[in-house]
Copies of this chain bind each other. A is one copy, B any other.
Amino acid sequence: MAIPARVRIIDVGPRDGLQNEKQPVPAAVKIELVHRLQDAGLKEIEVTSFVSPKWVPQMADAAEVLAGIQRRPDVRYSVLTPNMKGFEGAVAAGVDEIVVFGAASEAFSQKNINCSIAESIERFAPVVEAALAKGIAVRGAMSCTVGCPYEGDIAPEKVAYLAGLMKGIGVQRVDVADTIGVGTPRQVQAAITATLQHFGVDAVCGHFHDTYGQALANTLAALELGVWNFQSSVAGLGGCPYAKGATGNVATEDVVYMLHGMGIDIGIDLDKLIDAGQYISDFLGRKSGSRVATAIVNKRAG
Protein backbone atom coordinates (compact mmCIF):
# COMPACT_ATOMS: atom_id res chain seq x y z
CA MET A 1 0.00 0.00 0.00
CA ALA A 2 1.42 3.35 -1.05
CA ILE A 3 -0.56 5.30 1.49
CA PRO A 4 0.11 9.02 1.94
CA ALA A 5 2.13 9.95 5.01
CA ARG A 6 -0.08 12.91 5.78
CA VAL A 7 -3.73 13.75 5.33
CA ARG A 8 -5.70 16.97 5.35
CA ILE A 9 -9.27 16.96 6.65
CA ILE A 10 -11.82 19.53 5.56
CA ASP A 11 -14.56 19.64 8.15
CA VAL A 12 -17.86 20.41 6.44
CA GLY A 13 -19.98 20.20 9.59
CA PRO A 14 -20.79 23.91 9.96
CA ARG A 15 -22.06 24.05 6.35
CA ASP A 16 -23.00 20.65 4.93
CA GLY A 17 -23.77 19.38 8.40
CA LEU A 18 -26.01 22.14 9.65
CA GLN A 19 -27.61 23.39 6.43
CA ASN A 20 -30.63 21.13 6.72
CA GLU A 21 -31.26 21.47 10.41
CA LYS A 22 -34.86 22.51 10.95
CA GLN A 23 -34.24 24.07 14.35
CA PRO A 24 -32.48 27.43 14.13
CA VAL A 25 -28.83 27.28 15.10
CA PRO A 26 -27.73 30.75 16.27
CA ALA A 27 -24.70 32.31 14.63
CA ALA A 28 -22.95 32.27 18.01
CA VAL A 29 -23.23 28.47 18.16
CA LYS A 30 -21.87 28.11 14.64
CA ILE A 31 -18.99 30.42 15.49
CA GLU A 32 -18.22 28.48 18.65
CA LEU A 33 -18.25 25.24 16.63
CA VAL A 34 -15.77 26.69 14.14
CA HIS A 35 -13.56 27.89 17.01
CA ARG A 36 -13.62 24.46 18.57
CA LEU A 37 -12.78 22.80 15.27
CA GLN A 38 -9.78 25.03 14.69
CA ASP A 39 -8.69 24.55 18.30
CA ALA A 40 -8.77 20.81 17.62
CA GLY A 41 -6.36 21.35 14.73
CA LEU A 42 -8.60 21.46 11.67
CA LYS A 43 -6.90 23.49 8.95
CA GLU A 44 -9.84 23.64 6.55
CA ILE A 45 -13.40 24.37 7.52
CA GLU A 46 -16.39 24.70 5.20
CA VAL A 47 -18.13 27.41 7.17
CA THR A 48 -21.38 28.36 5.46
CA SER A 49 -23.19 29.04 2.16
CA PHE A 50 -24.01 32.34 0.51
CA VAL A 51 -27.32 31.15 -0.83
CA SER A 52 -30.83 32.53 -0.88
CA PRO A 53 -32.33 32.28 2.63
CA LYS A 54 -35.53 31.26 0.88
CA TRP A 55 -33.81 28.05 -0.16
CA VAL A 56 -31.59 27.43 2.82
CA PRO A 57 -32.82 29.47 5.80
CA GLN A 58 -30.25 27.91 8.10
CA MET A 59 -27.45 29.67 6.19
CA ALA A 60 -29.05 33.14 6.21
CA ASP A 61 -26.49 34.27 8.78
CA ALA A 62 -23.49 33.52 6.55
CA ALA A 63 -21.96 37.00 6.78
CA GLU A 64 -22.55 37.20 10.53
CA VAL A 65 -20.89 33.84 11.12
CA LEU A 66 -17.84 34.71 9.05
CA ALA A 67 -17.54 38.09 10.75
CA GLY A 68 -17.61 36.45 14.15
CA ILE A 69 -14.86 33.90 13.63
CA GLN A 70 -11.48 34.68 15.14
CA ARG A 71 -9.57 33.60 12.10
CA ARG A 72 -6.22 31.94 12.06
CA PRO A 73 -3.77 32.51 9.26
CA ASP A 74 -3.11 28.79 8.82
CA VAL A 75 -6.78 27.84 8.51
CA ARG A 76 -8.66 27.92 5.22
CA TYR A 77 -12.29 29.05 5.47
CA SER A 78 -14.47 28.03 2.54
CA VAL A 79 -18.08 28.74 1.60
CA LEU A 80 -20.57 27.61 -1.01
CA THR A 81 -21.41 30.22 -3.64
CA PRO A 82 -24.03 29.21 -6.20
CA ASN A 83 -24.04 32.49 -8.13
CA MET A 84 -22.50 35.96 -8.48
CA LYS A 85 -24.64 37.40 -5.73
CA GLY A 86 -23.42 34.72 -3.35
CA PHE A 87 -19.89 35.24 -4.57
CA GLU A 88 -20.06 38.95 -3.80
CA GLY A 89 -21.21 38.16 -0.29
CA ALA A 90 -18.33 35.73 0.08
CA VAL A 91 -15.83 38.31 -1.15
CA ALA A 92 -17.20 40.89 1.26
CA ALA A 93 -16.81 38.37 4.05
CA GLY A 94 -13.21 37.70 3.06
CA VAL A 95 -13.28 33.95 2.47
CA ASP A 96 -10.26 31.92 1.39
CA GLU A 97 -12.03 29.55 -0.94
CA ILE A 98 -15.36 29.31 -2.70
CA VAL A 99 -17.10 26.10 -3.60
CA VAL A 100 -19.20 25.54 -6.71
CA PHE A 101 -21.08 22.30 -7.21
CA GLY A 102 -22.37 19.93 -9.80
CA ALA A 103 -23.71 16.41 -10.02
CA ALA A 104 -22.40 13.48 -12.03
CA SER A 105 -26.03 12.50 -12.52
CA GLU A 106 -28.23 14.45 -14.93
CA ALA A 107 -31.37 13.49 -13.05
CA PHE A 108 -29.89 14.68 -9.77
CA SER A 109 -28.75 17.94 -11.36
CA GLN A 110 -32.25 18.55 -12.68
CA LYS A 111 -33.96 17.75 -9.39
CA ASN A 112 -31.40 19.46 -7.17
CA ILE A 113 -30.59 22.64 -9.06
CA ASN A 114 -33.14 22.54 -11.85
CA CYS A 115 -30.78 22.53 -14.81
CA SER A 116 -28.57 20.16 -16.77
CA ILE A 117 -25.00 19.43 -15.72
CA ALA A 118 -23.66 21.50 -18.62
CA GLU A 119 -25.96 24.41 -17.76
CA SER A 120 -24.87 24.30 -14.11
CA ILE A 121 -21.26 24.59 -15.18
CA GLU A 122 -22.07 27.51 -17.50
CA ARG A 123 -23.70 29.31 -14.60
CA PHE A 124 -20.68 28.75 -12.39
CA ALA A 125 -18.14 29.86 -15.00
CA PRO A 126 -18.35 33.61 -14.26
CA VAL A 127 -18.21 32.95 -10.52
CA VAL A 128 -15.06 30.87 -10.91
CA GLU A 129 -13.51 33.43 -13.21
CA ALA A 130 -14.23 36.25 -10.77
CA ALA A 131 -12.82 34.28 -7.86
CA LEU A 132 -9.60 33.41 -9.66
CA ALA A 133 -9.21 37.06 -10.70
CA LYS A 134 -9.33 38.01 -7.03
CA GLY A 135 -6.93 35.26 -5.98
CA ILE A 136 -9.64 33.30 -4.17
CA ALA A 137 -9.28 29.53 -4.39
CA VAL A 138 -11.99 27.51 -6.10
CA ARG A 139 -13.15 24.03 -5.23
CA GLY A 140 -15.76 22.07 -7.13
CA ALA A 141 -18.04 19.68 -5.28
CA MET A 142 -19.04 16.76 -7.50
CA SER A 143 -22.06 14.97 -6.06
CA CYS A 144 -23.44 11.53 -6.89
CA THR A 145 -20.13 10.25 -8.26
CA VAL A 146 -20.98 6.64 -7.40
CA GLY A 147 -24.73 6.41 -7.12
CA CYS A 148 -27.74 8.62 -7.57
CA PRO A 149 -31.12 8.34 -5.84
CA TYR A 150 -32.82 8.74 -9.23
CA GLU A 151 -30.46 7.09 -11.71
CA GLY A 152 -28.92 4.35 -9.57
CA ASP A 153 -25.31 3.44 -10.39
CA ILE A 154 -23.26 6.22 -11.96
CA ALA A 155 -20.68 5.20 -14.56
CA PRO A 156 -17.13 6.53 -14.06
CA GLU A 157 -17.41 8.15 -17.52
CA LYS A 158 -20.02 10.52 -16.09
CA VAL A 159 -17.65 11.47 -13.32
CA ALA A 160 -14.88 12.09 -15.85
CA TYR A 161 -17.28 14.24 -17.89
CA LEU A 162 -18.15 16.41 -14.90
CA ALA A 163 -14.53 16.63 -13.78
CA GLY A 164 -13.57 17.76 -17.29
CA LEU A 165 -16.22 20.49 -17.24
CA MET A 166 -15.04 21.64 -13.81
CA LYS A 167 -11.46 21.74 -15.00
CA GLY A 168 -12.56 23.63 -18.12
CA ILE A 169 -13.94 26.58 -16.15
CA GLY A 170 -10.87 26.81 -13.92
CA VAL A 171 -11.88 24.88 -10.80
CA GLN A 172 -8.65 24.11 -8.94
CA ARG A 173 -9.61 21.03 -7.00
CA VAL A 174 -12.64 18.78 -6.73
CA ASP A 175 -14.55 16.71 -4.22
CA VAL A 176 -15.46 13.21 -5.28
CA ALA A 177 -18.63 12.82 -3.27
CA ASP A 178 -20.63 9.69 -2.65
CA THR A 179 -23.65 11.77 -1.78
CA ILE A 180 -25.97 8.91 -0.88
CA GLY A 181 -23.31 6.68 0.65
CA VAL A 182 -23.99 3.64 -1.52
CA GLY A 183 -20.43 3.22 -2.78
CA THR A 184 -18.01 0.47 -1.88
CA PRO A 185 -14.20 0.52 -2.25
CA ARG A 186 -13.81 -0.47 -5.88
CA GLN A 187 -16.61 1.82 -7.04
CA VAL A 188 -15.09 4.73 -5.19
CA GLN A 189 -11.71 3.95 -6.67
CA ALA A 190 -13.28 3.97 -10.13
CA ALA A 191 -14.84 7.40 -9.51
CA ILE A 192 -11.52 8.76 -8.28
CA THR A 193 -9.60 7.25 -11.18
CA ALA A 194 -12.05 8.92 -13.57
CA THR A 195 -11.45 12.24 -11.84
CA LEU A 196 -7.70 11.78 -12.14
CA GLN A 197 -8.11 12.10 -15.91
CA HIS A 198 -8.50 15.83 -15.30
CA PHE A 199 -7.03 16.61 -11.89
CA GLY A 200 -3.82 15.63 -10.14
CA VAL A 201 -4.17 13.50 -7.05
CA ASP A 202 -3.31 16.46 -4.82
CA ALA A 203 -6.41 18.20 -6.17
CA VAL A 204 -8.85 15.42 -5.33
CA CYS A 205 -10.82 15.33 -2.07
CA GLY A 206 -12.73 12.26 -0.98
CA HIS A 207 -16.18 12.97 0.44
CA PHE A 208 -17.89 9.85 1.72
CA HIS A 209 -21.14 9.25 3.49
CA ASP A 210 -21.64 6.54 6.06
CA THR A 211 -25.26 5.72 5.29
CA TYR A 212 -24.29 2.13 4.52
CA GLY A 213 -21.31 2.12 6.89
CA GLN A 214 -18.84 2.14 3.99
CA ALA A 215 -17.13 5.49 4.47
CA LEU A 216 -13.97 4.35 6.26
CA ALA A 217 -13.42 1.43 3.92
CA ASN A 218 -13.85 3.89 1.05
CA THR A 219 -11.42 6.28 2.71
CA LEU A 220 -8.85 3.50 2.91
CA ALA A 221 -9.47 2.66 -0.75
CA ALA A 222 -8.96 6.33 -1.68
CA LEU A 223 -5.78 6.56 0.41
CA GLU A 224 -4.47 3.62 -1.58
CA LEU A 225 -4.81 5.72 -4.73
CA GLY A 226 -2.77 8.47 -3.07
CA VAL A 227 -5.71 10.73 -2.20
CA TRP A 228 -4.81 12.71 0.92
CA ASN A 229 -7.61 15.27 1.20
CA PHE A 230 -10.86 14.18 2.77
CA GLN A 231 -14.07 15.83 3.82
CA SER A 232 -15.99 14.79 6.86
CA SER A 233 -18.39 16.28 9.34
CA VAL A 234 -17.82 16.54 13.06
CA ALA A 235 -20.24 14.25 14.92
CA GLY A 236 -21.44 13.02 11.53
CA LEU A 237 -23.70 16.07 11.17
CA GLY A 238 -25.82 16.44 8.10
CA GLY A 239 -26.81 14.87 4.84
CA CYS A 240 -28.57 15.96 1.68
CA PRO A 241 -32.17 17.20 1.60
CA TYR A 242 -32.59 16.12 -1.99
CA ALA A 243 -31.43 12.55 -1.64
CA LYS A 244 -33.95 10.48 0.25
CA GLY A 245 -32.45 8.55 3.14
CA ALA A 246 -29.12 10.22 2.54
CA THR A 247 -28.18 10.98 6.08
CA GLY A 248 -24.69 10.35 7.16
CA ASN A 249 -21.65 12.41 6.36
CA VAL A 250 -18.85 10.32 7.77
CA ALA A 251 -17.90 11.61 11.21
CA THR A 252 -14.59 13.44 11.37
CA GLU A 253 -13.83 11.67 14.64
CA ASP A 254 -14.08 8.26 12.94
CA VAL A 255 -11.77 9.29 10.09
CA VAL A 256 -9.25 10.84 12.49
CA TYR A 257 -9.24 7.74 14.68
CA MET A 258 -8.46 5.51 11.71
CA LEU A 259 -5.71 7.78 10.40
CA HIS A 260 -4.14 8.13 13.85
CA GLY A 261 -4.16 4.36 14.19
CA MET A 262 -2.48 4.07 10.80
CA GLY A 263 0.28 6.42 11.90
CA ILE A 264 -0.70 9.08 9.38
CA ASP A 265 0.23 12.67 10.21
CA ILE A 266 -2.98 14.64 10.54
CA GLY A 267 -2.37 17.27 13.20
CA ILE A 268 -5.71 16.87 14.93
CA ASP A 269 -6.30 16.42 18.65
CA LEU A 270 -8.95 13.70 18.82
CA ASP A 271 -10.06 14.55 22.33
CA LYS A 272 -10.66 18.19 21.47
CA LEU A 273 -12.43 17.13 18.30
CA ILE A 274 -14.72 14.84 20.30
CA ASP A 275 -15.47 17.75 22.62
CA ALA A 276 -16.38 19.90 19.60
CA GLY A 277 -18.71 17.15 18.41
CA GLN A 278 -20.28 16.84 21.85
CA TYR A 279 -20.78 20.59 21.94
CA ILE A 280 -22.87 20.67 18.77
CA SER A 281 -24.62 17.35 19.47
CA ASP A 282 -25.66 18.64 22.89
CA PHE A 283 -26.91 21.85 21.31
CA LEU A 284 -28.97 19.88 18.79
CA GLY A 285 -30.18 17.53 21.51
CA ARG A 286 -28.99 14.57 19.53
CA LYS A 287 -26.65 11.62 19.91
CA SER A 288 -23.38 11.97 18.04
CA GLY A 289 -23.26 10.14 14.72
CA SER A 290 -19.66 9.20 15.44
CA ARG A 291 -18.97 5.69 16.66
CA VAL A 292 -15.56 6.78 17.92
CA ALA A 293 -17.02 9.68 19.89
CA THR A 294 -19.68 7.39 21.35
CA ALA A 295 -17.12 4.76 22.38
CA ILE A 296 -14.69 7.28 23.85
CA VAL A 297 -17.35 9.30 25.66
CA ASN A 298 -18.65 6.03 27.18
CA LYS A 299 -15.12 5.16 28.20
CA ARG A 300 -14.53 8.57 29.76
CA ALA A 301 -17.71 8.09 31.78
CA GLY A 302 -16.18 4.83 33.06
Which of B210, B220, B298 is in CB contact (< 8 Å) with A291?
B210
Q: Given A212-B254, A298-B245: A186 and B291 within 8 A (CB)?
A: no
Please tell me if the beta carbons of B185 and A262 are within 8 angstroms of each other in the complex.
Answer: yes
A292 within 8 A of partner (CB): yes
Which of B216, B224, B263, B292 is in CB contact (< 8 Å) with A1?
B224
Query: Which residues of B have CB within 8 Å of A290?
Result: 213
The distance in angstroms between the C-alpha atoms of A244 and B296, with both chains bound, is 12
Please tell me if the beta carbons of A261 and B186 are within 8 angstroms of each other in the complex.
Answer: yes
The distance in angstroms between the C-alpha atoms of A263 and B153, with both chains bound, is 14
The distance in angstroms between the C-alpha atoms of A213 and B290, with both chains bound, is 8
Please tell me if the beta carbons of B295 and A181 are within 8 angstroms of each other in the complex.
Answer: yes
The distance in angstroms between the C-alpha atoms of A219 and B220, with both chains bound, is 11
A221 within 8 A of partner (CB): yes
Query: Which residues of B have CB within 8 Å of A299?
Result: 244-245
A184 within 8 A of partner (CB): yes
Please tell me if the beta carbons of B212 and A291 are within 8 angstroms of each other in the complex.
Answer: yes
Chain A residues bordering chain B, tally (CB within 8 A): 36
Q: How many copies does the complex hold?
A: 2
Query: Which residues of B have CB within 8 Å of A185?
Result: 220, 258, 261-262
Please tell me if the beta carbons of A186 and B262 are within 8 angstroms of each other in the complex.
Answer: yes
Please tell me if the beta carbons of B214 and A258 are within 8 angstroms of each other in the complex.
Answer: yes
Residue of chain B at shortest CB distance from A216: B217
Question: Closest CB of chain B to A174's CB: distance in Å?
Answer: 23
Query: Which residues of B have CB within 8 Å of A262?
Result: 184-186
Residue of chain B at shortest CB distance from A289: B213
Q: Which of A222-279 contact B (CB under 8 A)?
A: 224, 244-245, 248, 251, 254, 257-258, 260-263
A187 within 8 A of partner (CB): yes
Q: Given A187-B261, A262-B186: A219 and B217 within 8 A (CB)?
A: yes
A20 within 8 A of partner (CB): no
The distance in angstroms between the C-alpha atoms of A134 and B43, with both chains bound, is 62
